Structure 1
Amino acid sequence: MPTLELITDADLYAPQHVGRRHLLVGGGRVLWIGAERPELPAALDVRVTELGGRRLVPGFVDGHAHVTGGGGESGYGSSVPPQQAGAFVTAGVTTVVGLLGTDDCVRTTGQLVNAVYGLRAQGLGAFCHTGGYHLPPTTLTGSIRGDIVHVDPILGFGELAISDHRSSQPTYDEFLRVASEVHTAGLMTGKAGICHLHLGDGVRGLELVRRALDGTELPARTFNPTHVNRRRALFEEALELTARGVVVDITASPEDGAQVPDGPDADLPASFAVRQVLAGVAAGRVPKNGWTVSSDGGGCLPVFDAEGTVTHVDVGRASTLPALLANLLEGGYELADVLPGLTTNPARLLRLEGRGSVTVGGRADLVVLADRSHAVDEVWCGGERFVAAGELVRADPF
C-alpha cells in the first residue's frame, strides 16, 4: 500500500483562501504544499488523488460531543448509546473532544477515557474533559488537577452546568475552586486548562463568569461557555464577554427554516448566531478567535415544560456541523470567514498544535467539499482516507 499520497489541483482553504495547490501527504502529516505539480520518482509508489479544483479545507475540530452517549433526563430508557468514529468523520470531524453531561453518575470519567482511546484506535483524533454537570466532580485520579496532569487525553474540565435546573447549583467559591484547579493544571502540562461551561435557560446566565473576571486573577480564556445560543439574552451577554477574552461556543442545531423568534428567551438557530458573530467580527466587537461551533454529538437534547418534565427529546449529531456550513455558504457567506469557528479557533483554544489548519508539518486532517451542495465529499484523518464520494470507506468495528 502506498505510504505517500499526492493530492492535486485542490482549491485550498487553510482556512484562509490560498488558491490552487498540490499537497504531498505521508506519515500522517502534510509534507509539502506547492503551486507546481511535482515530478516524483515512480519508485516512491505515490498514490495520486485528483481534486479537479474542489475545495480542500482543514478537518473540523468538534470541541463538545458525548462520545459515551448522553441523556437520561426522562428515565433509564432515555440514555443515548456511545458514538462510533464514523458518526464524526462522515461529518468532516477529524478531532473530537468528549465529555460527560447530566449523567456523570452511571457514566464515569474512566469510561469516557476508555471511549476516547477506542476512538483513537479507530483512527479518529480524540480527547476529553474530566468531570461533568455536577460538583463534587467525577474524576479518575481523585482530583481535577490530577486527571489533567496524569491522564493524556484529558484537556480540561466540563461540561460544568450553571444557570440550569439540572446543575448542582455551585456557589461562587466552588466555581472559582474548579476554575483555579483547571487553570493550574493547564500551566503544569501545556494543555488547554479550560473550564467548559454548560449554560442552561436560567436568568442568571453568565453571572459567575463576570464575577470571576471582575474579582480574580484567573485569565478569561479559562472560562469557555457553551450552548450560548439557547437564549437570545444569553447570547448577547456572551458576545460582550468575548471582548474580555472569553471564547464562546455555539451549539450547531438542525435548521428548520423558520423565522427566528423574538424576545430574550428565544432559542437562536446556529446559523443566525454565527451570522451575528461574523457581523461582530467585521465591526470589531468580537475577536476573530473569540468563537467556536460544536455539535453536541451523541448528546440528548430534551425540552422541558414549566414543571421540569421532559416533553420532547432529540439527539445531537455531528452532521449538524457541515449542514450549518452549507447553510451559511448558500446564504452568501465566505468560506474563509466561516471556517475558523470549526477549525483554527477550537484548535487554538484547546491547544491542539498541528490541527485545525492545513500547514506543512501539520496533521493531514483534510476535508473536500462538494461543489454544489457544499457537503463533505472526502475526508482524510491523520493521512488515512475515511470518506470517499461522501461514503465511509473505513468501516466502524461495530
Structure 2
Amino acid sequence: MLKLIKNANVFNPDPLGLCHILLAGEKIVYIGSDLPDLDSRLGVEILDVTGESVIPGLIDAHAHITGGGGETGPASRVPPVFLSEFTLAGVTSVVGVLGTDDLTRNTQTLVTQAYGLREEGLSAWCHTGGYHLPLTTLTGSTRGDIVFIDPIIGVGELAVSDHRSSQPTLDEFLRVASDAYVAGLMTGKAGIVHCHMGDGERGLTLLRAALDKSEIPARVFNPTHVNRNLPLFCEAKDLTRRGCYIDLTAFPEGHSEPGISAADAFLEYRAGGFPADRLTISSDGGGCLPAFDAEGRLTRFGVGLSGTLPDTLKELVHQNITLDEALPPLTSNVANLLKLKHKGRLKVGMDADLVVLDAETKVRDVMARGLWHVRDGTAVVLGTYESN
C-alpha cells in the first residue's frame, strides 16, 4: 500500500519546511511541497500531521540486543530487548554489541537476535567480538565474520582502559583494527573497532598510539562512553580533530556521574567548535550500567534504555538547539560512520524510516521499513513474545 504523509514539517535532518511525503513499500518515493495527484483506486493510506515535525528514524549504534550484564553471576544478566522498547523510542535501526559477558552470550546469539529483530520489522546489525581478546567470532576470524555474515559490520565493543578488559597491547589492538578495516574495504561495510572506554587512567592512550604508529584511517577507531568522566571526554573531543568519530552514551537519569549527560556533552562539544559531523549518541540499551569501588566490587547497577535517545533530543530542543542541529548525532552522523547508505536521512530512495514528533518533541508515531510500529504513542506492532 502507498502511504502519504501530508503537511509535515520535514527535517532531513536539514530543515525542508512544510512538505508531503509519499512512501511505497519500504522506500521514500516523493518529498515535496506540491501534493501528489494520486488515483483513488491505488488505495492510498493518508496521514495528515498538520505541521508536526517529521524526522529520520533514530539509529541506536550501541545496544545490547541479547541483554548485557552478568557482572555478579547468571542472575544479573539483563534479558534481551523487546522490539517495542526500540520503536517506542523512535529507534528504527539498531546495532547490537556484546560486553563483559562474551562467553555465555556470543556472536552466534547476537547475529541470531539481529535476524530476529529484522523479521519483526526493525533494521538490525551487530559487531563481532566483545570486551575481550581473543575475540569471540562465528567463522573463526574477524575478517571472516565481517565478510561472510551479513549483519556483522565491525568489531565491538572491545574494552580499553577498563579493569574488565583483557588489557590489549598496541600490537594486538592494531591487528584487530587492521582486520576490521580490510574486511570493510572488501564489503563496503563500516569496518570499525567500536571501543568500550572504561574509567582507567590510561584513557585514550592506546587509540592515540594506534593513530600515531599505523596507516589505518582514524575513522576505524570509534570510542564509546566517552562522557563517562570529564578527563576522558576532554581527550575524546581532541580525537575528533584527528578524524575519529566519538560516541556519547545517553545515560539514564542518575547514572551519568562522575561524567556528564549526553545533552550537556553535546552542548560543550558544540561550544568548543569541534567537528559537528564526528559526534554520535547511542543508548547502551539493554546493557548493565555498573559502578565499582577501588577493589573492583560492584556497588550499584542499572540498565540502559533506548528511550534516553529521544529524551536527549527533547532536552537539547529545550536548551534552544534547533532540530537540524540536534538530529545528526542520532541519525545522519551515525549512518555515515556505519556506512548505512539508506538510513539516517529523509530523501527519495532512502528507507521509509521516520518519526513524527509532537509539539513537545515527544515521539508520537514511528514508521520502520514502511510499516507503522507506533501510533499516537502506542506500539501497534509488538515483538513475538511481547503482550499488551
TM-score range, shorter chain: over 0.9
Give the equivalent residue in structure 1 for 2:368: 381
1:138 maps onto 2:136 in alignment: yes
Instruction: Give the TM-score of the pair, scaled to structure 2.
Output: 0.98
Percent identity, please: 53
Q: CA deviation at 1:335?
A: 0.9
Counterpart residue type for residue 354 of structure 2: L
CA deviation string 1:299-323 (max 9, x = no partner): 0001111111111110000000001
Partner SS for 2:139 = coil
1:359 corresponds in structure 2 to 347
| Secondary structure class of the residue paired with 1:380 | strand
* Inter-partner Cα distance in structure 2 for 1:117 and 1:31: 26
Aligned to 1:205: 203
* Residue 291 in structure 1 maps to residue 283 in structure 2: no
2:81 to 75, 80, 83: 83
Partner Cα distance (1:10, 1:277) in 2: 30
One-letter identity of the residue aligned with 2:73: G
Runs (4+) of structure 1 exceeding 3 A deviation are: none
| Alignment partner, residue 171 of structure 2 | 173
Displacement, 1:176?
A: 0.7
* Pairing 1:217–2:215 present: yes
Within the candidate set 301, 322, 338, 1:313 is matched to: 301
Q: Which residue of structure 1 lines up, in the alignment, with residue 114 of structure 2?
A: 116
* Letter in structure 2 aligned against 1:180: S
Give the match for residue 195 of structure 1: 193
Measured in 2, the distance between the counterparts of 1:39 and 1:216 equals 56
Task: Provide structure 1 residue ranges, at least 5 long, that are not aligned to the other structure.
Answer: none
1:39 is displaced (CA, Å) by 2.1
2-structure distance, mates of 1:72, 1:27? 41
What secondary structure, in the 3-state scheme, does the structure 1 residue paired with 2:251 have?
coil
CA shift digits 1:76-97 (9 cap, x unpaired): 2100001121110110000000
Q: Which amino acid aligns with 2:49?
A: L
Q: Which residue in the other structure is 1:5 paired with?
A: 3
Question: Counterpart of 1:323 in 2: which secondary structure?
Answer: helix
Residue matched to 2:268: 276
Q: Deviations over 1:265-321 (max 9, x none)?
A: x311111111112223xx3xx212111000000000011111111111100000000
* Partners of 1:38 and 1:16 in 2: CA distance: 22
Deviation at 1:133, TM superposition (A): 0.1
SS of 1:289's partner is helix
Contact 2:83–2:382, Cα closer than 8 Å, also in 1: no
Contact 1:65-1:296 within 8 A present in 2 as well:
yes
CA–CA separation in structure 2 for the residues paired with 1:76 and 1:107: 11
* 1:267 is aligned to 2:255: no
CA distances 1:157-177 after superposition (whole Å, capped 9, x unpaired) = 000001000000011110111
Instruction: Provide the secondary structure at the position in 1 that maps to 2:277.
Output: coil
Which amino acid letter does the alignment assign opposite residue 368 of structure 2?
C
User: 1:100 aligns to what?
Assistant: 98
Give, in angstroms, the shift of residue 254 of structure 1.
Answer: 2.1
User: 1:321-336, aligned counterparts within 5 Å?
Assistant: 321-336=309-324
Name the residue aligned to 1:394: 381
Kindly provide the CA deviation profile for residues 95-154 of structure 1, in whole angstroms up to 9, marking residues without a partner as x: 000010000010010010000000000000000000000001100000000000000000
> 1:224 aligns to what SS in structure 2?
strand
- Rounded to whole Å, the distance in 1 between the matches of 2:67 and 2:9 is 36
Letter in 1 for 2:358: A
Matches of 1:36 and 1:72, distance apart in 2: 54
Asked whether the 8 Å contact 2:197–2:224 carries over to 1, the reply is: yes
Please list every run of 5 or more consecutive structure 2 residues that lacks an aligned counterpart in the other structure: none
Structure 2 Cα separation of the partners of residues 122 and 364 of structure 1: 15
Query: How far is the alpha carbon of 1:255 from its aligned partner?
Result: 3.5
